[in-house]
Structure 1
């Protein structure tokens, strides 16, 4: 692959460099996430109600330095642990899960650079990320047989690559400085072209109409004879052809988003029950928070949430352990996929359960539009459809019962 062509790259200005915070360690990343989450939560319900896209909020988010926390230390980043990464995502998703979802593909794409990039590509693109640049995505397509049945083509043409196709579910592409697009070559091997915003032939359309995760702008990307230098193209097939943690990394971030949704729904339940809800007439108590059946349900929800969070942290520690060893084996990747799959089951279930139980426990008042509590269930139901949790049960059972390793792809 040719060395990076500086003449065709997006240049980073000194102003950008001064404006973006560079986070240096795990503790700082968590502290920044908590501070930012308080700010992002303030108008989350209004943004959802009005489908007001978070153009300003995403600038706060990436300028905070959080989008660069997985850049390796050797390239100037914090290189945080997976325990820290999942905690950061969980914190932001509890404040606003649409914003929590936006960097999910970005972090996976940073990992692709680490795994498959040349030294020149790593130096360039990691510097871009540290300067606040965001990756969107152009992965999935509508109307195909399954998620890996791609029609988009990436073909070499001299020192450039040409990309043609149409993508959907392109979360974050509308807000991105680069839109990495996955396509197949003539041998049906996958390549990722990191296409700069404004490139001729690249069109990003805001046509996302999902009832949940409404402000992710997960719409359409159209590519018509798009040309990029070879230095912007990465051999994505290698992250699955060989044992890597790219799939488990993608999945554990998804699980962290769901855990954040569950936490937010439960927090709103507690606040409303304490302040607004009425006890049932047969309970014989003065306050809804003393209703014994409500108390029981709140206990059950907390147990389920804590179990999900515990499995999420356990899975993150498995990833950290394997990453520290270097050069994961097939057995390592299988163990990571199963650990993340177990966490994904429980985070899916608590996100859906907590967002539905909110209404049962808080009562009819909680359904009023002024509270916007329906967003929790809509977000949970929409986001947990990224991959079917029923197949996580199968993945885990098949591994323990039959010794079958999960297939290596971004959904495992």
Structure 2
């Protein structure tokens, strides 16, 4: 294998198959309670979560979006978002790692052939993790791509370099966005151990430190033609690929906010001092702290409600995709994404503000929530979401179909 980092674990336990939405949520809650225990140490030491990911994927949660006709649970979009939020509240990095896995599964559902769906969905249910190699740096815009899929001597090969490859470090397949010889975008589900594939652990963000969002290099890597799925056409007609990708990002942010909020409650009850000499012995009795917690709670609950609403609208578009239903889903998700961006940053910042200088001590690890939110919310600019929402309601303009709205 050419990858520079490999999992030290061997697959030993069987993969669980989740059968319902309720079961998915129950499994997520149980895992989150476990993942919360080591979250501070993993962040502080940048300890890659190999063991946690094995348990995460073997729990069956990485297969919950596989349609029922292919053996999966086919859970609702509401449930998928809640699962991601639950895990992200425990560990923001762990919550983000499967985002591109679910995105690739959705692209496969929408654009894959019957043979591709049957084969690759079976792999997912058997425990194969999908990473991603979509974004590039050094291009004119964030949407430009230079990685090529070319035919050489009768064989398809990939040449290029990708960055922000969240999940690739931990994956068995790396869905890679490429430009073919006709200039059309395709998604190549290339095996991570293919010749010419090098996964580099060069991610150095000050937040989301264990997502492994580094580089992947393709040096003439061969790819089976049957593993290439059309990508561009998923945005040339109304599909749910774009809003589905974005609701997962919103879920990560609201989970990070929830984690910061819950840590703030514990810190104020047990460790923080009152802000002023107001005759109270605990920060939890300080009227100014109580006021700030109330403001944060209202915003968090609003964000969680908008996330659920976006999931319901997205479920409707999934059942009946057309220009209007997909646009409505994109707008509902954009509304959720805008407010979850704000509340994740607010919650992490408010935790440090209410906790004082002690809250930023490395051994407490409470600053990780703000760092995780600040890095993740840079994924795509929230200001364009407000514009798309306003233009939709004011002028009746349907939003553009792309994965970053």
Q: CA deviation at 1:161?
A: 2.0
The answer to whether the Cα contact below 8 Å between 1:165 and 1:223 also exists between their aligned partners in 2 is: yes
SS in 2 for 1:79: coil
The answer to whether the Cα contact below 8 Å between 1:181 and 1:195 also exists between their aligned partners in 2 is: yes
Q: CA deviation at 1:286?
A: 2.2
Q: CA deviation at 1:322?
A: 1.9
2:387 is the alignment partner of 1:394: yes
Q: 2:258 maps to what in 1? A: 263
* Paired residues for 1:317-332 under 5 Å: 317-325=312-320, 328-332=321-325
1:74 and 1:183 map into 2 onto residues whose CA distance is 29
Structure 1 residue runs without a partner (length 5+): 1-14
Cα displacement string for residues 353-412 of structure 1 (whole angstroms, at most 9, x for unaligned residues)? 010011111222212111011111110000000000111111101111122211111112
Cα 1:288–1:404 shift into 2, 3 Å: same
Question: What's the TM-score, normalizing by structure 2?
Answer: 0.96
Among 285, 288, 291, the residue aligned to 1:290: 285
Q: CA deviation at 1:298?
A: 0.3
SS in 1 for 2:304: helix
Among 328, 335, 340, the residue aligned to 1:342: 335
1:161 and 1:92 map into 2 onto residues whose CA distance is 38
The answer to whether the Cα contact below 8 Å between 1:173 and 1:218 also exists between their aligned partners in 2 is: yes
Among 189, 194, 201, the residue aligned to 1:194: 189
Q: 2:14 maps to what in 1? A: 19
Cα displacement string for residues 46-94 of structure 1 (whole angstroms, at most 9, x for unaligned residues)? 0000001111111010000000000000000000001100110000000
1:217 and 1:63 map into 2 onto residues whose CA distance is 19
Q: 2:373 maps to what in 1? A: 380
2:35 is the alignment partner of 1:40: yes
* Paired residues for 1:7-406 under 5 Å: 19-157=14-152, 160-325=155-320, 328-406=321-399
Q: CA deviation at 1:186?
A: 3.1
2:304 and 2:298 map into 1 onto residues whose CA distance is 10
1:112 and 1:371 map into 2 onto residues whose CA distance is 40
Cα 1:297–1:366 shift into 2, 3 Å: same
Q: CA deviation at 1:18?
A: 6.5
Structure 2 residue runs without a partner (length 5+): 1-9
Q: CA deviation at 1:155?
A: 2.4
RMSD: 1.4
2:151 and 2:240 map into 1 onto residues whose CA distance is 28
Q: CA deviation at 1:146?
A: 1.2
Cα 1:242–1:159 shift into 2, 3 Å: farther
Cα 1:298–1:402 shift into 2, 3 Å: same
Question: What's the TM-score, normalizing by structure 1?
Answer: 0.94
2:385 and 2:86 map into 1 onto residues whose CA distance is 24
The answer to whether the Cα contact below 8 Å between 2:257 and 2:348 also exists between their aligned partners in 1 is: yes
Q: CA deviation at 1:197?
A: 1.8
Q: How many residues align?
A: 396
Q: CA deviation at 1:159?
A: 6.5
SS in 1 for 2:378: helix
The answer to whether the Cα contact below 8 Å between 2:201 and 2:212 also exists between their aligned partners in 1 is: yes
Q: Which piece of structure 1 moves more, 399-408 or 190-199?
A: 399-408
2:383 and 2:133 map into 1 onto residues whose CA distance is 26
The answer to whether the Cα contact below 8 Å between 1:322 and 1:332 also exists between their aligned partners in 2 is: yes
Q: CA deviation at 1:17?
A: 9.7
1:225 and 1:294 map into 2 onto residues whose CA distance is 58
